[in-house]
Amino acid sequence: MDEIKLIEIKEDIQADNALVADELRERLKKNRTLMINLMSSPGSGKTSLLIRTIEALKNEINIGVIEADIDSVVDCEKIAETGVTNVQLRTGGFCHLDATMVKKGLDGLANPELDLIFIENVGNLVCPAEFDTGAIKDAMILSIPEGDDKPLKYPLMFTKASVLIVNKIDYMTISDFNINRMKDYVNRLNPDIEIFEVSCKTGEGINRWVEWLKKTVLDFKQSAA
């Protein structure tokens, strides 16, 4: 019997993706544009957080949004109502974005004057964590109704993210979610992670998140100069 030839497809795909991701970061650095990849499970509040953030920052910072969904433009329509530059990526079944997809989104935005770009990744705590999008920073949202054990179930996502936004803290009083226990789980995986506690419904905690964004955008522009 002839020897079986095994080709590791995932390794090839990841290597190609890494090259494109690095090219995108060089492009962003040249344009002095901070791009943040926002990930979470469905329904955790990505679009709501973006709308709150845009409302707070759009008069100070030029913002663009790359929306991603498997087969919908619902979130993009909501973002369009804020007046910021945006584009929709329809993945056609893919449960994540990779750097090549994001490149198409950047080309679609066609605005090198943007200070800050958000990628609203496909709602999923597994696949998006495995693919480099070319973003400067990876952020994720965990909502209170999801439970405080998610860092144990999806460790890669919490390890990869440099920012964790705990959303729907207005649910805290009617939930058994233990925020200190959750932070302990997360800090074991990623001791350098930034954690923000917010409610997109009431606005609580949004100011701290917004101030961090303003400083991070300014620091990136200075470092890229």
Question: How far is residue 43's CA from residue 72's CA, in Å, rounded to a whole number?
Answer: 14
pLDDT, position 19: 93
Q: What residue ranges do the domains of the chain occupy? A: 32-220
Question: How far is residue 210's CA from residue 216's CA, in Å, rounded to a whole number?
Answer: 10
List the pLDDT tens digit at each of the 225 positions of the chain.
456 544 444 455 567 889 999 999 999 999 999 999 999 999 999 999 999 999 999 999 999 999 987 666 777 889 999 999 999 888 776 678 899 999 999 999 977 789 999 999 988 999 899 999 999 999 999 999 999 999 999 999 999 999 999 999 999 999 999 999 999 999 999 999 999 999 999 999 999 999 999 999 999 999 987
Return the CATH class of domain 32-220: alpha beta
Residue burial 120-132, b: 16+ Cβ < 10 Å; e: rest: bbbbbbebbbebb
For 13-43, write each residue's pLDDT tens digit.
Answer: 567 889 999 999 999 999 999 999 999 999 9
Interacting residues of 127 by C-beta distance below 8 A, sequence separation 6+ = 94, 95, 96
Strand partners, 37: 119, 138
Mean of all residue pLDDT scores within the chain: 91
For 196-208, write each residue's pLDDT tens digit.
Answer: 999 999 999 999 9
pLDDT, position 110: 79
For 125-147, write each residue's pLDDT tens digit.
Answer: 998 999 999 999 999 999 999 99
Interacting residues of 181 by C-beta distance below 8 A, sequence separation 6+ = 148
